[in-house]
Structure 1
Amino acid sequence: MASRALKRAGITPELCEQLKRHKIESCKDLLTHTAFEVMYAAGLSYQKTLEMMETVSRVIAPPLTTALELWKCHPDSCFSTSIPALDKVLRGGLPCGTITEVTGPSGCGKTQLCLMLSVVTTIPKELGGWDRSVIYIDTESAFSAERLVEIAQNRFPDYFSSKENVLRMAGRVHIFREMTCEDVLRRLEKLEEIIISSRSGLIILDSVASVVRKEFDTTLPGNLMHRSNLLGQEATTLKYLAHQFNIPVVLTNQITTHIGHQGSGSGIVTAALGNTWSHCVNTRFIVQYVNGLKRQLLVAKSPVASFAVLNYTIQKGGIYVFGNDGEEKFYEGTDPSLQAIRVRTAINLNTT
């Protein structure tokens, strides 16, 4: 909340402009200065300065609340994925105000899921959507407008039989291609105003690992710490935006090999970015291969759901669960950051 712009804390536009000249733009900027420094920058009396700082402090202070109030005040606490079996496991869908991560090997449908969720966000509420726009940050140039439209027309054929509805949907998905860590962080810090102006109901970052793994060689001294600090800043900003606007944030992550103990040379494939990052996300899905056509989605971490496994395929309309639809299956494992992930092998490629 400290990252909130001053103009959203009840400060007049004129005073915001005055403070901006002294590089004081957010609530955090203001409260990290002394009263005398702010008085000089704002051109106010000492008493007026104290009153302004007290007002800002009250705005960003976490309010005291109860579980009953949260239950009553947030009827839209879940975002439907349009996958009934997954929504059932998650007790309604993706939890709003939190971060959901989708991790797994290439080709398992991480971006397909993001495109599908983008479509769902834009459709009318009577069809299970939110009738809002999407902020889609693409760090791998993986976004495909053609695939977005194909998913829309095949998943909701009646609604998207109208060209006008297709154009309206496509116009509400706002794409930002950011190819460096600095660009991603800068974009995240500017999202607050974009969310308000575009009535965004979903933030997607595809993928969070791509840019940091390219820029940080963690075998070099100090790089691991710098990478952790950067990821921490990104997570903090995204958590603030999710909480402030009560919307879901969806990230995709890559995989890495976790080497076994005592230098055995053996290892398992796990989610990238390490154990510390795994604690930054509220919900983690793992997608993995079963064979050439079938895949699995594991609910590896969730504040509301038990560990569960759903089998799915990728079709023209996106992701479809098959088999025991909605029936929860459980697997062993306690640490989602070290949960082994199945990858495509030569055997899997030849399996039908």
Structure 2
Amino acid sequence: MANMVISEMGLPKWIANIFAARNIVTAKEALSLTEFELMEFLDVGLAEVTSAVAHISEIVCPPYQTALLLMEQRVQNEHLAGHLPTRLKGLDEALCGGIPFGVLTELVGPAGIGKTQFCLKLSLLASLPASYGGLDGRVIYIDVESKFSSRRMIEIGMKSFPEIFHMKGMAQEMGGRILVLHPTSLSEFTESLQQIKVSLLQHQVKLLVIDSMAALVSGEYEQGAPRQHALGWHVSFIKSLAEFSRIPIVVTNQVRSQSRDEACQYSFQAQRWDDTKEDRTRHDSHLVAALGVHWAHAVTIRLVLESKSGQRFIKVAKSPISPPLAFPFNITSSGMSLLSDDGFELTGPDINTIHCQGHNDIINFVGESLQ
């Protein structure tokens, strides 16, 4: 709009000719000057300049939109973009269908809480045939900490979708659709990103999982500015992958203790340090998501997995379409299972504080600890 030609805007011919004679051709060139500069440059009066600028501005200015129209457009875009259903009814309803396409969804939680279990189930759901509610595609699973277990994945499939996995050769076919990478450093991961971008199209990939992003940088950078700088390019690239491929991208993140200075600076992230001793015990360890505030702004959906008094919860801590909600869950032989589809709404520090009480007794069903 800014490059529209002034001579085609319907101005009186005489003023349009003056603009042309002074080599002011586009709306951008005219509006880049003040009215007094135009008066001097065009050698006309203030009234004529004001009228011309108002006319040009009215034509190139984007039209107004109502809040109702913006909301309707967003709902339509969400519907067209698509979702990967998690098969967790309450969570899918809160997210208007599941894990959204085209954006970053982050899973945050302490070790052993169930992040990888959730990612394994999502990988199966993305690879399932469309006739069974899946995306009928391949999955790229970036396994940074060597937590991926094909045995556990097949167990989840057998328990969750027995009608599929008991068919001859189906377990092998599903397993063959999940491509697992094991980068050992951030630099190695960086080198593979361009190939991943090509693979997203060549192999009909319908889900990208990075488990975990924090582990990629923990061995190379300390917490703080160097890490933020190192991640800046990667965040931009991964976000562009999501927008380019229009698939869901799920990234797991670790937790860390929050210092007192950070608590004062970012009071929205955790319980304040000036609480009473009783409150400190209740909110035990002042844990927050790793990778910092800049990373937090980059993700569209943040799901926090935590444990309080031995009960595990998954909560929607950040979402443009859902209020902060928490759902109690268990890890079973078929993966994550909600104990209630009716989430309860969170307020205040509970939205971002991450609790870590009594979850060390989680075990899986093949004799290995869950991660």
Compare 76-85 and 162-171 and name the one that shifted more. 76-85
What displacement does 1:73 show? 9.4
Contact 2:110–2:306 under 8 Å retained in 1: yes
Compare 154-163 and 105-114 and name the one that shifted more. 154-163
What displacement does 1:155 show? 0.8
TM-score normalized by the length of structure 2: 0.69
> Mind listing any 5+ residue stretches in structure 1 that lack a counterpart?
1-65, 219-223
- Distance in 2 (CA, whole Å) between partners of 1:151 and 1:130 is 17
CA distance 1:305–1:174, change in 2 (3 Å):
same
- Which residue does the alignment assign to 2:355? 342
What displacement does 1:75 show? 2.8
Report the AA paired with residue 246 of structure 2: N
- Distance in 2 (CA, whole Å) between partners of 1:70 and 1:90 is 12
In the alignment, does 2:331 pair up with 1:314?
yes
- Which residue does the alignment assign to 1:215? 220
CA distance 1:189–1:329, change in 2 (3 Å):
same
Secondary structure of residue in 2 paired with 1:285: strand
- Distance in 2 (CA, whole Å) between partners of 1:214 and 1:86 is 34
Compare 96-105 and 158-167 and name the one that shifted more. 158-167
What displacement does 1:260 show? 2.3
CA distance 1:183–1:177, change in 2 (3 Å):
same
- Which residue does the alignment assign to 1:278? 296
- Distance in 1 (CA, whole Å) between partners of 2:81 and 2:131 is 14
- Which residue does the alignment assign to 2:343? 328
- Which residue does the alignment assign to 1:56? none
Secondary structure of residue in 2 paired with 1:319: strand
Report the AA paired with residue 259 of structure 2: I
Counterpart selection for 1:132 from 116, 131, 137:
137
Deviations 1:273-310 (A, max 9, x none): 11111101110000011344x31001000111110000
In the alignment, does 2:282 pair up with 1:247?
no
In the alignment, does 2:319 pair up with 1:299?
no
What displacement does 1:149 show? 0.5
- Distance in 1 (CA, whole Å) between partners of 2:222 and 2:77 is 47
Write out aligned runs for 1:5-84 (5 A): 68=73, 71=76, 75-84=80-89
- Distance in 2 (CA, whole Å) between partners of 1:331 and 1:202 is 29
- Distance in 1 (CA, whole Å) between partners of 2:298 and 2:339 is 31
Deviations 1:113-137 (A, max 9, x none): 0000000001112222100000000
- Distance in 2 (CA, whole Å) between partners of 1:235 and 1:217 is 18
Report the AA paired with residue 82 of structure 2: S
CA distance 1:247–1:313, change in 2 (3 Å):
same
Deviations 1:115-171 (A, max 9, x none): 000000011122221000000001101100101111111111111111311111000
In the alignment, does 2:253 pair up with 1:238?
no
Aligned Cα RMSD in Å?
2.6
Report the AA paired with residue 268 of structure 1: H
Counterpart selection for 2:286 from 245, 264, 268:
268
- Which residue does the alignment assign to 1:190? 195
Q: Which has the larger radius of gyration?
A: 2
What displacement does 1:72 show? 6.5
Contact 1:96–1:246 under 8 Å retained in 2: yes
Contact 1:100–1:284 under 8 Å retained in 2: yes
- Distance in 1 (CA, whole Å) between partners of 2:165 and 2:248 is 24
What displacement does 1:259 show? 1.8
TM-score normalized by the length of structure 1: 0.72
Deviations 1:186-223 (A, max 9, x none): 222321111111100000000000121121124xxxxx
Contact 1:291–1:349 under 8 Å retained in 2: no
> Mind listing any 5+ residue stretches in structure 2 that lack a counterpart?
1-69, 265-272, 363-371
What displacement does 1:251 show? 0.4
Report the AA paired with residue 239 of structure 1: K
Q: State the number of aligned residues.
A: 274
- Which residue does the alignment assign to 1:4? none
In the alignment, does 2:166 pair up with 1:161?
yes
Secondary structure of residue in 2 paired with 1:101: strand
CA distance 1:72–1:237, change in 2 (3 Å):
closer
Report the AA paired with residue 86 of structure 1: L
- Distance in 2 (CA, whole Å) between partners of 1:84 and 1:127 is 16
